[in-house]
A and B are shown apart, each in its own frame.
Chain A
Amino acid sequence: MIRLGPLILRNVLRNRRRTVLTLASTAVSLALLALLTALYQGFFFSEPDSPSEARRLICRHRVSLTQPLPASHLQRIKAVPGVDEVSAWSWFQGVYKEPKDFFARFAVDSDVIFDIRKDWQIPADQLRDFKRQRTACAIGEKIARDYGIKVGDRVVIVGDIYPVTLELTTVGIFTHPVNAECLVFHREYLSELLPAGSSQRDSVGTYMILASTPQEVPRISRAVDAMFENSPYPTRTESEKEFGRSFLAFLGNIKLFLAAICGAVTFTILLVSANTVAMAVRERTREMAILRTLGYTPSEILQLVVGESVVISVVGGLAGLGIGTLLAKALQAGAGAFGFTAIKWQAAVIVLGMAALIGLLAALAPAMIASRKNVVESLRFTG
């Protein structure tokens, strides 16, 4: 095989136009495969984005996220061994200026929320103001940038789930890892605005829990759910990652869709590569017969053809990863949604492996035929 290396390389470079076209075709398709694999990985196998995320859990009503939990759950959850901190984490929704000006808004326990979301970085003086002022809010830096909100600015949010209007003052702007864009404000302020006797006053949307270590997370999840099992407000407690993943169901049967598309893409590349090899082998019928007369064995002819195909595929795979990385950057800048980050090494390995496999499979049939051809007949072949 090593001895055949130079000859394989020459063959690759011989019909440059064809090689370039095949490369371009496989590279684009493999770039797509890389992106889809990365998407799949991001959806279903992503690691926590920060050490504190691995320690966090979300507790919601078992029936659905739209059902509130009583505020009294907080103290009981906090008493569960292994729980460091608990905060309310109530989805407020509402409208800021226009309905299209949308970002997440949560009512939280202001004293502890920044201890739980350790991945949020906020200047110490801003944090102190946030804890102190009843109508204070803190916002993610991207929201601040997108809507031109500065520290000291008023933010008015008209409620829909909650029939109140929040008049907040921005006291802090925090930075954070991906997908943590939101506004947080005091839960007590929301309760005060609600009319006396409203059932929403003493309820909380979900709770955010910080476990003392990531290892405690599964145990706490079971302990909390067992504690409220027979209460009128049973809970479902899961890690923050699992909680995020539950929203994937909104996209439909995404696993099946991605698998079907990946299958279609892979098969297309296989066809393109097989076509190229078939064309090359056909053109070189005579030449291969001459190689046989020079003493090359059928197995060496086979290796020549397969080698050429695999080289083109793998180079296509490398180029595809390059294109895929660029596309991923563009997608991230454009949408940045759905926890999609970048093409990680696992996806790269899968794509290169697939490329090599495709090269091998595509060449197999034409290479077998070429290596077994009758020498004399092939010499007579005129194309």
Chain B
Amino acid sequence: MGVPITYNVRNLIERKGTTLMTAVGIGLTVAVLVTALALTAGLKSVFAGSGDPRQVLVLRKGVNAELTSTVSNDSYQIIRRLPGIAVAASGEPMVSPEGLTVVNLPSVDSPEGMNVTVRGLLPIGLSMRTLTIEQGKTFEPGMRQVIVGNSVARRYPDARIGKHVRFGRGSWEVVGVFRVGDSAANSEIWVDLNQLRGDFEQEGGSSSLLVRTEGDEAAARLKKAISDDQRLGSGVIGEKEYYAGMTSSGAPLEALGFFVAAVMSVGSAFAATNTMYAAVVRRAGEIGTLRALGFGRWTILRSFMLESICLALIGGVLGVLIALPVNGLTTGVGSFVTFSEVAFKFRVGPDAVLWGLLFAVVIGALGGFLPAWSASKKGIVAAMRDL
């Protein structure tokens, strides 16, 4: 039979001060880990919410980013006549030539400036996205107007409605704020492709083509048709797949978070050991009594281990509570694929909470082992004499 867990809980409550100080220490460690996990989860959800499974992206062969890609007008004309491409209500094939560039604007996080993607599209491109205009209106073809994603509007003071953004051959008026679900598009600025081409002397070419296919089978055939045609010099990647590849942008921050949590956990485990040793020393008499009552060594070991884990779990819960306010906070990281920023919200999900609690249990178990071991090794007579 084991020592009842209420005995451990009561002991922890009895030494409120020490328990709380140790638990908060563990809590802060857990909070760092949970925050790092929330960052990755938030970034992942942005990229998971980007792209349409029916759509593929045509880039120049060997190029893996829209920004460095070019597709000629001739290739565009050939590709839009290939079979397997969905047709819009207007009867037009759903092939959207898009031009990309990057502008550097001061953001709330980096006043010295951060890069934002500018995407030029035609009406067909707009129709291929689930676009909602949150404020203002959309740009008019032929006008030097832009619409900005809602993250851009929030994070870049110079890109709000009524302001002018300078790039290409002059300035562009911000006329609207848009949103495309919870996707990376919300971190972009959109303009009329023909206007953008005029500014960058692209004469009909574009950076990429976004193509909606009739289905998986049609997509596979289209992929083969485009890759095999030497004239095109193009490659095809699924739009979903393209965005999934960008999740690594958060890797440096995530690594920093994990590293810090790991080192802090060592410190917290030592602190737990200290607290538990003090508990063992103070309760030497009790341990002796328990042994005299017939509780075995293993039971004592288990009891103190449990107490340590309970202590750490209090810390774990505190840690999750400390980390909870970051849930929903918006921040941004740069991607070297798009060479610009993508904004996302921290997401403290069930996964992050569970990992945080598990981390606390591990800290408690590691920190409690030596004291529990020494408690279980105490001789009955020696322990009782300590009274």
Contacts and interface: CB of A to CB of B under 8 A. Distances in A.
Contact of A65 (B104, B112, B282): B104
B294 interface: no
Band of interface residues on B? 35 or more
A268 B104 contact: no
Interface in A246-294: 246-254, 256-257, 261, 264-265, 267-269, 271-272, 274-276, 278-279
A274 to B, nearest CB: 6
A263 to B, nearest CB: 9
A274 B278 CA distance: 14
A229 to B, nearest CB: 12
Nearest to A248: B110
A366 B104 CA distance: 54
Contacts of A18: 274, 277-278
Contacts of B270: 21-22, 24-25, 28, 272
Contact of A93 (B18, B68, B250, B341): B68
A273 to B, nearest CB: 9
Report, as a range, how many residues of chain A touch the other chain. 35 or more
Contacts of B103: 63-64
B120 to A, nearest CB: 14
Interface string A9-50: 000000001100110111011011000100000000000000
Contacts of A232: 169
User: Quick one: which of A62, A64, A158 has the most chain B CB within 10 A?
Assistant: A64
B333 A161 contact: no
B328 to A, nearest CB: 16
Given A253-B331, A271-B25, A274-B21, A25 B264 contact: no
Contacts of B151: none
Nearest to A19: B274
Interface string A52-73: 0000000000111111000000
9 contacts: A25-B271, A158-B62, A250-B334, A250-B335, A251-B333, A264-B264, A271-B25, A276-B274, A383-B282
Interface of B: 17-18, 21-22, 24-25, 28-29, 31-32, 60, 62-65, 67-70, 101-104, 107, 109-110, 112-115, 166-169, 201, 250, 252-253, 256-257, 260, 263-264, 266-268, 270-271, 273-275, 277-278, 282, 331-336, 339, 341
Given A28-B264, A64-B115, A161-B68, 10 more contacts: A95-B62, A160-B63, A251-B333, A253-B109, A268-B24, A269-B267, A272-B274, A275-B271, A278-B17, A338-B252
What are the 9 closest A-B residue pairs judged by CB atoms, nearest first?
A250-B334, A25-B270, A249-B110, A29-B267, A252-B333, A275-B21, A64-B104, A253-B109, A272-B271
Interface of A: 17-18, 21-22, 24-26, 28-29, 31-32, 36, 62-67, 93, 95, 99, 158, 160-161, 163, 199, 232, 245-254, 256-257, 261, 264-265, 267-269, 271-272, 274-276, 278-279, 338, 383
